[in-house]
């Protein structure tokens, strides 16, 4: 076993890492899940006995992959034989690109359509359907058992959504494109119809580790388990998550049962638990227990477990007074409770409420910093080449950012190679060239256009002759321009300034404003949650409303280390969230 320099691992964590079998690890909030996963990856890397072997780690987000890689590299561990990323990136890099010749739809070439273009096509197709009216936001979908499943819970709209998606898929087919969800569909199809693929992958993967398994879709389990089964025990797995936080069920995510996982993978899998919460006070943990759907054990082990937490619930507040109350709670947290602004989070169920709220808070509390929707001048389209390049351009070439910028540079080189551009430069040389480019320009979009041109000039790339680069270039600037215009219209000042662009890739600073889904995985001293109302938490179309509401409330309350402020404001006749309203708890008086 790897000799860990960090001796703060608990016995539970060490036992999970040292287990010689495959593991399904159920980890409660604040239990050091990411630390355990990180060290398990390091341990697996230390056991590799050939340069052609790989450890695979699949994370739910790109950000999580970057965080884990940073931690591993900080330990001084060689990561050349580690691949880490999202399931979509895994399927694209390890299954679709190498084996596309086996599928009639893909063998003559394909491109992955970026999210902006996909949204534009669907938005345009929706215009013709007015009875009932549908929009892009009605059309999320995913694949299960080879069929398209709709994310919308409004069955009145299903027929029109199906017609839109049928036209959408036809357009993609005509243009030799696949979208985000089709990456999974074609990966599963390839690996199902051609067992040689899973045989080949299992022969080089010693282990496959999966984070946030409770958000994993059926098709994703299918792909991974086919590889595991082909290995006949030679490829092991380590799967981590918290079923109480499975809040992406509308998109097909669910926590697989232990027995089903063993049967699908053909492996003996040991079920283990992390039960010690090193994050929250005992009172916060007691409150979370009210929404513990899967009855997992959670014990308080934080250094602040005896902290005299405030857990308040306000259901008498008028919606017109909500903003004033949030401001009061922010000031109380900072001035009276001595909580730093970086340790405060405001949580709401819908982006539409949060974007305008963030802008108003920025205006009314100029003495504080904020990090939230309505503050970012361009979308985080992780599949867009120019977005990837902008990460390097807009981040500082500091020692603490070197590893991350170096990885990003390698991604740029890999994407260029895939596109057909072959550069005889190392990632270090690329970073040196980028760092040397100077642009005197205050407008953010103009700055990036000029920088991209200088980049192409430095490496002799005519991006206009490469369809993927050209399409991504147009999409990046069109979507960014639309976003900036919308933010300007809503009153956001200086959003187009280059300093606003640079903030996107700086470490998080200030009071966080986020949705419940967006805040999952984060932690803060103080959490302020509002709009906890029936029809919103849970969504009014949710067929399993009370269970979904419990999971959402579990996520909200388990983010807090010290204090939790819950609000069900009186809004348009809506009632407070049922399970919250019925919760019997000795709440603190309003501060």
Q: Are 61 and 39 in contact (CB under 8 A)?
A: no
Alpha-carbon gap, residue 245 to 519, rounded angstroms: 11
CA 220 to centroid of chain Cα atoms:
16
Q: Do 11-96+188-274 and 282-373+507-581 have matching folds?
A: yes
Element (H, E) at 189: helix 180-193
The per-residue pLDDT for 491 is: 67
Q: Quote the tokens at residue 244.
A: 């109480």
pLDDT digits (tens, 9 = 90+) for 420-441: 998 999 999 999 999 999 999 9
Alpha-carbon gap, residue 104 to 153, rounded angstroms: 34
**Above 80 in pLDDT, residue 340?**
yes
Q: How far is CA 419 from CA 106, 110, 117, in A?
A: 16, 11, 18
Alpha-carbon gap, residue 52 to 335, rounded angstroms: 57
CA 242 to centroid of chain Cα atoms:
15
Strand pairing class (147-150; 141-144): antiparallel
Q: What topology does CATH give the domain 11-96+188-274?
A: Rossmann fold (3.40.50)
Q: How far is CA 136 from CA 208, 221, 524, in A?
A: 35, 27, 33
**Above 60 in pLDDT, residue 6?**
no
Q: Are 235 and 227 in contact (CB under 8 A)?
A: yes
Per DSSP, the three-state class of 491 is coil
Q: Are 431 and 406 in contact (CB under 8 A)?
A: yes
The DSSP secondary-structure symbol of 494 reads: S
User: DSSP readout, 300-329?
Assistant: E--TTTT----EEEE-S-BGGGHHHHHHHH
Per cent of the chain over pLDDT 70 is: 98
Q: What is the mean pLDDT of residues 437-452?
A: 96
Alpha-carbon gap, residue 468 to 470, rounded angstroms: 5
Q: What topology does CATH give the domain 282-373+507-581?
A: Rossmann fold (3.40.50)
Q: Are 510 and 332 in contact (CB under 8 A)?
A: no
pLDDT digits (tens, 9 = 90+) for 538-549: 887 787 889 999
pLDDT digits (tens, 9 = 90+) for 103-162: 999 999 898 888 888 999 999 999 999 989 999 989 999 999 889 999 888 899 999 999
Q: What is the mean pLDDT of residues 476-480?
A: 90
Q: What are phi and psi of 311, to 5 degrees?
A: -125, 105
Count of Cβ atoms closer than 10 Å to residue 431 Cβ = 19
Q: Are 387 and 476 in contact (CB under 8 A)?
A: yes
Alpha-carbon gap, residue 569 to 534, rounded angstroms: 11
Alpha-carbon gap, residue 514 to 374, rounded angstroms: 11
The per-residue pLDDT for 542 is: 80
Per cent of the chain over pLDDT 90 is: 77
Count of Cβ atoms closer than 10 Å to residue 515 Cβ = 16
In terms of phi and psi (left: phi > 0; alpha: psi -120 to 50; beta: otherwise), the region of 224 is alpha
Compute the mean pLDDT over every residue in the chain, rounded to the nearest whole number: 93
Q: What are phi and psi of 82, to 5 degrees?
A: -110, 130
Q: Are 165 and 276 in contact (CB under 8 A)?
A: no
Q: Which residues pair with 82 in a beta bridge?
A: 55
pLDDT digits (tens, 9 = 90+) for 516-532: 999 998 999 999 999 99
Count of Cβ atoms closer than 10 Å to residue 292 Cβ = 17
Q: Quote the tokens at residue 130.
A: 């007015």
Element (H, E) at 273: strand 269-274
CA 376 to centroid of chain Cα atoms:
17
Q: Tell me the three-class secondary structure of 541-578, residue by residue.
A: CCCCHHHHHHHHHHHHHHCEEEEEEEECCECCCCCECH
Q: Are 243 and 214 in contact (CB under 8 A)?
A: yes
Q: Tell me the three-class secondary structure of 419-433, residue by residue.
A: HCCCCCCCHHHHHHH
Q: What is the mean pLDDT of residues 47-68?
A: 93
**Above 80 in pLDDT, residue 5?**
no
pLDDT band at 3 (very low <50, low <70, confident <90, very high): low
The per-residue pLDDT for 374 is: 67
pLDDT band at 2 (very low <50, low <70, confident <90, very high): low
Alpha-carbon gap, residue 106 to 266, rounded angstroms: 30
pTM here is 0.91
pLDDT digits (tens, 9 = 90+) for 244-281: 999 998 889 999 999 999 999 999 999 999 999 999 99
pLDDT digits (tens, 9 = 90+) for 209-239: 999 999 999 999 999 999 999 999 999 999 9
Query: Per-domain residue ranges for the chain?
Result: 11-96+188-274, 114-174, 282-373+507-581, 385-503
**Above 80 in pLDDT, residue 380?**
no
Q: What is the mean pLDDT of residues 172-192?
A: 96
């Amino acid at each position: 076993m790897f000799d860990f320099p960090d001796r703060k691992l608990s016995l539970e964590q060490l036992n999970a890492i040292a287990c010689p079998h495959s593991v399904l690890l159920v980890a409660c909030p604040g239990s050091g899940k990411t630390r355990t996963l990180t060290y398990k990856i390091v341990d697996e890397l230390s056991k590799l006995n050939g340069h052609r072997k790989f450890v695979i780690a699949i994370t739910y987000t790109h950000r999580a992959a970057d965080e884990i890689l940073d931690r591993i590299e900080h330990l001084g561990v060689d990561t050349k034989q580690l691949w880490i990323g999202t399931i979509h990136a895994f399927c694209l890099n390890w299954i679709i690109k190498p084996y596309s010749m086996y599928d009639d739809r893909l063998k003559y070439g394909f491109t992955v359509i970026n999210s902006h273009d996909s949204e534009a096509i669907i938005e345009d197709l929706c215009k013709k359907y007015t009875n009932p009216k549908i929009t892009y936001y009605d059309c999320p979908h995913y694949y299960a058992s080879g069929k398209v499943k709709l994310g919308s819970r409004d069955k009145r709209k299903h027929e029109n959504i199906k017609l839109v998606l049928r036209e959408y898929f036809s357009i993609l087919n005509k243009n030799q494109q696949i979208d985000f969800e089709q990456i999974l569909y074609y990966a599963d199809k390839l690996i199902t119809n051609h067992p040689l693929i899973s045989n080949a992958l299992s022969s080089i993967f010693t282990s496959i580790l999966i984070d946030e398994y409770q958000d994993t879709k059926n098709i994703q389990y299918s792909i991974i388990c086919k590889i595991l089964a082909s290995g006949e025990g030679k490829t092991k797995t380590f799967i981590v998550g918290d079923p109480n936080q499975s809040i992406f069920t509308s998109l097909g995510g669910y926590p697989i049962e232990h027995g089903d996982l063993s049967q699908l993978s053909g492996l003996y899998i040991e079920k283990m638990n992390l039960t010690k919460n090193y994050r929250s006070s005992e009172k916060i943990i007691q409150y979370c227990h009210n929404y513990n759907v899967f009855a997992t054990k959670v014990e308080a082990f934080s250094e602040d477990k005896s902290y005299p937490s405030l857990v308040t619930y306000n259901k008498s507040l008028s919606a017109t007074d909500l903003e004033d109350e949030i401001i009061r709670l922010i000031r109380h947290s900072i001035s009276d409770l001595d909580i730093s602004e970086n340790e405060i989070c405001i949580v709401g169920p819908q982006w539409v409420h949060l974007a305008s709220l963030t802008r108003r808070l920025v205006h009314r509390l100029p003495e504080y910093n904020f990090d939230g929707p309505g503050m970012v001048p361009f979308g985080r389209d992780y599949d867009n080449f120019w977005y990837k390049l902008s990460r390097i351009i807009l981040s500082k070439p500091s020692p603490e950012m070197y590893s991350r910028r170096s990885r990003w540079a390698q991604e740029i080189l890999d994407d260029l190679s895939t596109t057909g551009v072959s550069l005889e430069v190392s990632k270090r040389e690329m970073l040196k060239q980028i760092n040397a480019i100077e642009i005197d320009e205050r407008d953010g979009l103009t700055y990036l256009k000029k920088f991209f041109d200088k980049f192409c000039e430095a490496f002799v790339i005519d991006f206009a002759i490469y369809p993927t680069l050209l399409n991504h270039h147009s999409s990046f600037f069109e979507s960014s321009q639309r976003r900036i215009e919308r933010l300007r219209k809503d009153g956001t000042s200086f959003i187009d300034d280059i300093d606003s662009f640079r903030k996107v890739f700086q470490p998080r600073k200030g009071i966080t404003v986020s949705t419940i889904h967006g805040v999952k995985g984060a932690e803060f001293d103080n959490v302020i949650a509002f709009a906890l109302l029936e029809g919103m938490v849970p969504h009014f179309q949710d067929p399993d409303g009370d269970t979904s509401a419990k999971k959402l409330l579990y996520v909200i309350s388990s983010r807090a280390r010290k204090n939790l402020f819950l609000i069900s404001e009186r809004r348009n006749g809506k009632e407070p969230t049922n399970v919250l309203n019925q919760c019997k708890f000795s709440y603190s008086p309003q501060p």
